């Protein structure tokens, strides 16, 4: 068989494949686009004469989004009941589902484990949610999710997720944090100790352990530690000195002196785009250190109306959220909505 | 590079269609209808495919605003096509079995002049393969798409498509070399169900 011809029709032609193409080509689609109904239109919010105030438009959009998410969750919950499992494709080697070698394709259901060895790779497709590629040396479990969401647990190894579902539908638990999809594409790695690293390539992702949270937009990475949860995210193109200082600041067990020195480096080396890290730093430093972080952050991103030094000093969540939105890296409402609905889902499933 | 430009253009069309531009949606139809056709052909009776292609787009149109990532349009639409095939089978299992029996050359000769025995035999053999292989092979052999085009249109990775094509073709060759007719294939399917346990094999 001529593999290259089968792949892209280049190279010497394969007579068998040519015959199949000739015969089966008689079934080829030959239709043209029909006239579609005009009922579905989504006018831009700015064209509205009825809701000139941005906050009112936002409120209505939020209410609409809540309804949409609720309807989506009901639909997903219903689908989960009839779902027999996610479709899994073997890419390389011999991935195993529940200790059984995956033979080309298979299904992965709730409670089941898929594992790859050093030479194996696989791919999971979650209908209408997204696609997960599993790298070698990875152990991944499917968990029962509240409110019909999709939930995996990455015990170790690396996955690449590409998600096209609504924000907050797809989550991955790791030993040190929960990754919540708020965007589109990311790579998540967990090492043998349970520490992790997430790299977002499109959209943004929320990382959470208890009340510690981190938001990682496209182009940024974030470490997570078993003992302390999500660290401080940073853009990968940040200067080496800045990244090293963040790593020192984040590492548990460092001396107070090391920590203070690292903080000074972080503040002095920050660029405009490093406001991402400074916003997270506001809630990670001691109260005595917070004013200097505030000043540095405010110099890069002026506090929006309603955000005060006093409020930030006491970590007023609404003010912090408003300042996050000023960064224009993702709407915090999506995250808060996820938190509420996740919490309600867990309550109702108990 | 050409695929990237195509994706960029598709994203623009998706955004325009999302804003109510029916011409843009029509262009998306022209681009993606062959993909949807191939996906459905892997799962539902031949006579139903063209109508269902239209249904898939009608189902997608009012939900377009729920698609966050315009670049994911192909994968999103492919998922809708598979679900549409699932829905078809929930309501038409008996008809499917009848359709498969009807596919044998002796019976189709008078009713379906469009298909000759070769088409029926090959289609039956492809439909007896694992789901992932069926879809990819039909997009390659029926719709005439290359592997990179299949990956770009369905959202599958190039690696997955390559694996599906090679393994699927290997298995197809074996099946076509076996001394049996499409009649025996149809009977096997009718007796045992599809290889993954679903009529039409469309459930994911």
Q: Dump pLDDT digits (tens) for B9-43.
A: 888 888 888 887 778 888 899 899 999 999 999 98
Whether residue B195 is predicted with pLDDT greater than 60 in this model: the reply is: no
Please, which residues 27-86 of chain B have a Cβ atom closer than 8 Å to chain A? 27, 29-30, 33-34, 37-38, 41, 46, 50, 53-54, 57-58, 61-62, 64-69, 72, 75-76, 79-80, 82-83
Residue B131 has pLDDT above 90, yes or no: no
When mean pLDDT is compared across A190-194, A342-346, B54-58, the lowest value belongs to A342-346
The model's pLDDT over B132-190, given as tens digits with 9 standing for 90+, comes to 889 999 999 999 999 999 988 888 888 888 888 998 999 999 888 876 544 554 454 44
What burial class does residue A126 get, using C-beta atoms within 10 Å of its C-beta: 0-12 exposed, 13-18 middle, 19+ buried?
buried
Band the pLDDT of B6: cuts 50, 70, 90. low
Report the pLDDT value the prediction gives residue A72, as an integer from 0 to 100.
60
CA distance B30 to chain A (A): 6
The pLDDT > 70 percentage for chain A reads 82
Q: Other CB atoms closer than 10 Å to residue A340's CB: what's the count?
A: 11
- In this predicted structure, the answer to whether residue B130 has a pLDDT above a threshold of 60 is yes
Question: How far apart, in whole angstroms, are the C-alpha atoms of residue A230 and residue A285?
Answer: 14
In contact, B108 and B47? CB cutoff 8 Å: no
* Partner residue opposite A29 with nearest CB, options B83, B143, B203: B143
Alpha-carbon distance of B22 to B66, in angstroms, equals 17
Q: How far apart are CA A157 and CA A151, in angstroms?
A: 17
* pLDDT grade for B51, boundaries at 50, 70 and 90: confident
Give the separation between CA A18 and CA B25, rounded to whole angstroms: 33
For the question of whether the overall pTM of this predicted structure is more than 0.80, the answer is: no
A25-29, A127-131, B126-130: least confidently modelled range: A127-131
One CATH from 3.40.710.10, 3.40.50.300, 3.40.50.2300, 1.10.1740.10 for B2-199 = 1.10.1740.10
Domain definitions of chain B by residue range: 2-199
Kindly report, residue by residue over A86-97, the tens digit of the pLDDT.
889 999 999 999
Does A84 sit within 8 Å of B68, measured CB to CB?
no
For residue A212, count CB atoms less than 10 angstroms from its CB and return exposed for 0-12, middle for 13-18, buried for 19 or more.
middle
* pLDDT over 90 at A231, yes or no: yes
Q: Which residues of B touch A29 (CB under 8 A)?
A: 33-34, 37-38, 50, 53, 143
Burial class (CB in 10 A: 0-12, 13-18, 19+), A286: exposed
SS3 A211: coil
Q: Is the pLDDT at B193 greater than 70, yes or no?
A: no
- CB contact under 8 Å between B142 and A27, yes or no, is yes
B161 neighbors B136 (Cβ within 8 angstroms):
yes
The string of pLDDT tens digits covering residues A26-58 is 888 887 777 665 544 443 433 334 444 555 555
Percent of chain A surpassing pLDDT 90: 51
């Amino acid at each position: 068989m001529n593999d290259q011809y089968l792949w892209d029709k280049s190279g010497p032609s394969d007579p068998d494949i040519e015959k199949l193409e000739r015969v089966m080509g008689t079934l080829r689609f030959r239709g043209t686009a029909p006239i579609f109904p005009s009922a579905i239109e989504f006018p831009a919010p700015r064209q509205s004469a009825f809701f000139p105030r941005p906050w009112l438009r936002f409120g209505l959009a939020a209410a609409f989004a809540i309804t949409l998410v609720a309807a989506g969750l009901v639909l997903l919950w219903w689908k989960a009941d009839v779902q027999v499992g996610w479709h899994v494709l073997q890419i390389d080697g011999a991935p195993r589902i529940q200790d059984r070698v995956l033979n080309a394709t298979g299904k992965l259901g709730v409670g089941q484990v898929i594992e790859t060895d050093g030479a194996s790779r696989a791919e999971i497709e979650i209908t209408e949610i997204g696609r997960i590629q599993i790298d070698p040396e990875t152990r991944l479990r499917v968990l029962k999710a509240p409110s019909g969401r999709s939930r995996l647990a990455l015990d170790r190894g690396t996955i690449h997720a590409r998600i096209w579902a609504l924000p907050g539908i797809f989550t991955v638990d790791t030993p040190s944090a929960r990754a919540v999809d708020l965007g589109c594409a990311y790579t998540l790695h967990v090492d043998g100790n349970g520490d992790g690293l997430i790299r977002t390539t499109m959209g943004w992702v929320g990382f959470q352990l208890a009340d510690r949270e981190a938001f990682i937009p496209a182009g940024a990475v974030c470490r997570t530690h078993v003992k302390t949860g999500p660290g401080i995210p940073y853009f990968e193109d940040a200067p080496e000195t800045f990244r090293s200082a963040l790593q020192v600041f984040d590492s548990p067990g460092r001396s107070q002196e090391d920590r203070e020195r690292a903080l000074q480096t972080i503040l002095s080396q920050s660029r405009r785009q490093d406001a991402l890290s400074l916003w997270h730093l506001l809630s990670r430093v001691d109260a005595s250190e917070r004013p200097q972080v505030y000043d540095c952050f405010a110099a890069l991103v002026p506090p929006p109306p309603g955000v005060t030094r006093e409020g930030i000093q006491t970590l007023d969540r609404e003010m912090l959220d408003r300042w996050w939105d000023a960064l224009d890296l993702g709407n915090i409402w999506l995250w808060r909505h996820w938190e509420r609905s996740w919490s309600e889902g867990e309550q109702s499933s108990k | 590079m050409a695929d990237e430009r195509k994706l960029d253009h598709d994203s623009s069309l998706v955004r325009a269609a999302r804003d109510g531009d029916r011409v843009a949606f029509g262009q998306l139809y022209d681009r993606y209808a062959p993909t949807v056709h191939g996906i459905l052909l892997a799962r539902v009776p031949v006579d139903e495919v063209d109508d269902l292609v239209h249904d898939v787009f009608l189902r997608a149109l009012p939900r377009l605003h729920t698609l966050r990532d315009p670049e994911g349009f192909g994968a999103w639409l492919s998922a809708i096509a598979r679900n549409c095939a699932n829905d078809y089978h929930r309501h038409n299992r008996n008809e499917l079995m009848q359709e498969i029996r009807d596919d044998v050359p002796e019976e189709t000769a008078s009713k379906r002049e469009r298909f000759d025995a070769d088409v029926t035999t090959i289609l039956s053999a492809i439909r007896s393969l694992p789901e992932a292989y069926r879809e990819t092979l039909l997009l390659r052999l029926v719709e005439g798409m290359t592997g990179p085009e299949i990956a770009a249109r369905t959202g599958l990775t190039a690696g997955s498509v390559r694996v599906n094509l090679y393994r699927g073709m290997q298995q197809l060759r074996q099946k076509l070399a076996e001394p049996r007719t499409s009649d025996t294939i149809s009977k096997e399917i009718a007796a045992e169900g599809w290889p993954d346990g679903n009529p039409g094999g469309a459930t994911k």
